[in-house]
């Protein structure tokens, strides 16, 4: 009974068919596309047929894929799902090869296609095709494209090297505790766990040293890996007529450099707020854990131990109450999700860890969520977060016919916003409960600065490193140390005390700590988006929480937009203009209020 009640209804994806039949149906529609690929542009009728077939295939393909992938996530040990997944991927690749000439044909027939798109029943497709036409200047001659395809396997692999080095080759010393007993550190998360050990400072110190020493011992290798990684990414981008790799990433996001530089500038103005928060946090650590002088190995200690326990039914009620400011229509969708079994709630053996709300939602009626609910208050935040994604999928699938996905740039706003509404609700509910109040405020503030100050610091380092490399200047370990320190000074501030210790052992081991950040090795310039998402979500959540009806109306336009507009235009639907700095200052004002409340909590 409970099992059914708290499980998701994946069977409705099949629509009374067997999985095999759904697969056949998908394959047949794909074959229709293949048959049309060399003539889709020849007549208007063909072109329209192509467009409707594309969406039809997408809808069936999504149902098929979501059925198999979500079953697999629940039963990682069941080989039938892996086999199905491999089958779909394999057949999908074969079909993709057969239609691979499509983009070329689109580019060759631009004028014809543009004339077709004047018809009112298909003119909404214009943006989709304009994005392809815009790519023209980055597409090379046929011969060169063939060469690029041939060498492409040899131009990847840096991320593989990084994870192989840090996950398997890197060896950590045992961390010795106060009684002289060694503790094995096999992975990075083992070390992080030991740093949270409240009772044994010697153990924390040794774990900190072991962790930093291991990374420090490969700092030359990591610097070179990063250098060649960026060099390659920039050369490849330049071959495709981009200024550099960062420019390519921004252009693909339809964002300009101005937005990035504005984020760098405005997040720097969070520095004093960050330090006020940090100072009080450190004072609380000192008092709670009875430490007179804090060291780097004390900073990961928890502030609160006692947490509340929540049942699934209570979690549902909390989410509904917290999201009430979004209005009855929004809550109707939330209740629909609970009642119609969109959610797989419970943890079990061989189930994927963590939580997600599905992508690939076109053609679906339920926007599934995977949870591993553990009765903690954090799990309530998680369901509020994932519900933000799923309700967004609901709205945009009911509003859009073509642009039914979300861009990563704005995709996290609806989910972060729900978490924030939950936090505002809890702050009020628990105003006389010191433990919960501390937990909520610490969570809000650490998340805010973690996504803004910290991520922008990383992004600025990456930006400066690429600048050096593109100017043909050397990029050595001492450059890494210098750029990291400069970025820390700009965004976090470095105290005189810390500066005095910076070259002393063991503190100096952390000077190249920035080389540990995995995303630098992934060729994906994106973390600045975390900061923008966080700032926007906080400002919108605060307005909605305080009853701003205009913002609420605007927010629904935002939820329904999908990818029908460039991300910056979608953000503008809420009345926020990222070209101006106001939104950052608004966010800072809200955060300053939270810090004030945080500072009132004395141990």
Active site residues: 386
**In the bound complex, what is the minimum distance in angstroms from residue 386's beta carbon to Zn ion?**
7
Considering only residues 109 through 148, tell me which ones interact with Zn ion, judged by CB under 5 A: none
Phi, psi of 262 (to 5 degrees): -65, -40
Stretch that binds Zn ion, among 398-406, 408-416, 436-444, 453-461 (CB under 5 A): 408-416
Q: Which residue is listed with tokens 């105290």?
A: 495
Among 377, 415, 542, 554, binds Zn ion (CB under 5 A): 415
HEC letters along 61-101: HHHHHHHHHHHHHHCCCCHHHHHHHHHHHHHHHHHHHHCCC
Q: How far apart are alpha carbons 385 and 149 in whole angstroms?
A: 39
What is the size of the binding site for Zn ion (CB under 5 A)? 1
The H or E element spanning position 356 is strand 356-357
Structure tokens at 152: 């492409």
CB of 391 to Zn ion, least distance (A): 12
Cβ closest to Zn ion, residue 528 vs residue 598: 528
The distance of closest approach from Cβ of residue 381 to Zn ion in the complex, given in angstroms and rounded to an integer, is: 11
CB of 411 to Zn ion, least distance (A): 7
- The residue behind tokens 């809200």 is 590
Say if residues 241 and 459 touch (Cβ distance below 8 Å).
no
Stretch that binds Zn ion, among 60-68, 96-104, 411-419, 502-510 (CB under 5 A): 411-419
Nearer to Zn ion, 415 or 563 (CB): 415
> Binders of Zn ion among 53-82, rule CB under 5 A?
none
Whether the link from the prior residue into 59 is cis, omega within 30° of 0, is no
Nearer to Zn ion, 397 or 415 (CB): 415
Smallest gap, in angstroms, from Cβ of residue 529 to Zn ion?
A: 12
- Look at residues 382, 344, 384 and name the one whose alpha carbon lies nearest to residue 366: 344
Of 321, 317, 370, residue with least CA distance to 342: 370
Residue among 51 and 416 whose Cβ is closer to Zn ion:
416
Nearer to Zn ion, 386 or 481 (CB): 386
Integer Rg of the chain from CA: 26
Q: What is the distance between the alpha carbons of residues 320 and 314, in angstroms, rounded to a whole number?
A: 10
364-403 mask for Zn ion (x: CB under 5 A)? ----------------------------------------
The stretch among 157-165, 220-228, 370-378, 409-417 that binds Zn ion (CB under 5 A) is 409-417
- Of the candidates 394, 402, 399, the one whose C-alpha atom is nearest the C-alpha of residue 361 is 394
Nearer to Zn ion, 341 or 418 (CB): 418
Q: Smallest distance from the beta carbon of 357 to Zn ion, in angstroms?
A: 7
| Closest chain position to Zn ion (CB) | 415
In order of 225, 342, 479, 496, 580, the CA distances from 212 in angstroms are 18, 43, 19, 22, 40
Residues forming contacts to Zn ion in the complex (CB under 5 A) are 415
């Amino acid at each position: 009974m409970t099992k059914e009640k708290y499980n998701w209804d994946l069977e409705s994806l099949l629509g009374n068919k067997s999985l095999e039949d759904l697969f056949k149906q998908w394959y047949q529609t794909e074959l229709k596309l293949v048959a049309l690929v060399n003539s889709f542009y020849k007549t208007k009728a063909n072109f329209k047929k192509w467009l409707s077939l594309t969406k039809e295939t997408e809808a069936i393909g999504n149902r098929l894929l979501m059925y198999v992938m979500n079953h697999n996530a629940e039963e990682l040990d069941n080989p039938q799902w892996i086999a199905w997944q491999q089958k779909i991927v394999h057949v999908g690749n074969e079909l993709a090869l057969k239609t691979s000439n499509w983009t070329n044909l689109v580019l060759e027939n631009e004028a014809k296609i543009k004339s077709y798109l004047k018809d009112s029943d298909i003119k909404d497709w214009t943006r989709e095709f304009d994005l392809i036409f815009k790519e023209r200047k980055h597409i090379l001659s046929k011969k060169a494209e063939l060469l690029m395809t041939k060498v492409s396997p040899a131009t990847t692999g840096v991320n593989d090297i990084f994870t192989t080095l840090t996950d398997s080759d890197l060896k950590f010393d045992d961390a010795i505790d106060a009684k002289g007993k060694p503790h094995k550190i096999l992975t990075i998360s083992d070390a992080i766990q030991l740093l949270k050990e409240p009772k044994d400072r010697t153990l924390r110190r040794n774990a900190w040293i072991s962790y930093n020493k291991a990374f420090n011992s490969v700092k030359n290798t990591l610097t070179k890996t990063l250098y060649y990684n960026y060099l390659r990414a920039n050369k490849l981008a330049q071959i495709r007529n981009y200024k550099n790799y960062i420019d390519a990433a921004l252009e693909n996001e339809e964002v300009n450099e101005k937005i990035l530089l504005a984020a760098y500038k405005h997040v720097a103005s969070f520095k004093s707020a960050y330090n006020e928060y940090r100072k009080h946090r450190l004072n609380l650590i000192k008092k709670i854990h009875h430490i007179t002088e804090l060291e780097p190995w004390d900073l990961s200690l928890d502030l609160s131990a006692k947490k509340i326990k929540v049942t699934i039914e209570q979690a549902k009620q909390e989410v509904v109450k917290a999201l009430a400011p979004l209005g009855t229509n929004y809550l109707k969708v939330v209740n629909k999700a609970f009642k119609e079994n969109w959610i797989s709630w419970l943890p079990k053996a061989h189930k994927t860890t963590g939580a997600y709300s599905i992508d690939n939602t076109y053609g679906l009626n339920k926007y599934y969520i995977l949870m591993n609910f553990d009765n903690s208050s954090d799990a309530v935040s998680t369901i509020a977060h994932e519900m933000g994604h799923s309700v967004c999928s609901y709205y945009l699938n009911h509003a859009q016919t073509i642009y039914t996905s979300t861009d990563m740039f704005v995709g996290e706003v609806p989910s972060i916003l729900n978490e924030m509404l939950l936090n505002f609700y809890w702050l009020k509910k628990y105003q006389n409960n010191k433990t919960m109040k501390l937990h909520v405020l610490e969570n809000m503030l650490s998340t805010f600065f973690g996504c803004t100050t910290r991520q922008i610091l990383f992004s600025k380092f990456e930006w400066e490193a690429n600048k050096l490399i593109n100017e043909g200047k050397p990029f050595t370990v001492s450059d890494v140390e210098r750029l990291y320190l400069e970025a820390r000074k700009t965004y976090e501030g470095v105290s005189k005390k810390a500066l005095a210790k910076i070259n002393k052992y063991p503190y100096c081991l952390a000077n190249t700590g920035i080389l540990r950040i995995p995303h630098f090795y992934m060729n994906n310039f994106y973390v600045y988006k975390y900061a923008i998402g966080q700032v926007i979500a906080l400002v919108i959540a605060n307005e909605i929480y305080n009853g701003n009806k205009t913002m609420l109306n605007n927010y629904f336009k935002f939820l329904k937009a999908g990818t029908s507009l460039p991300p910056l235009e979608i953000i503008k639907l809420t009345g926020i203009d990222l070209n101006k700095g106001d939104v950052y200052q608004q966010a800072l004002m809200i955060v300053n209020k939270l810090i004030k409340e945080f500072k009132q909590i004395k141990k």
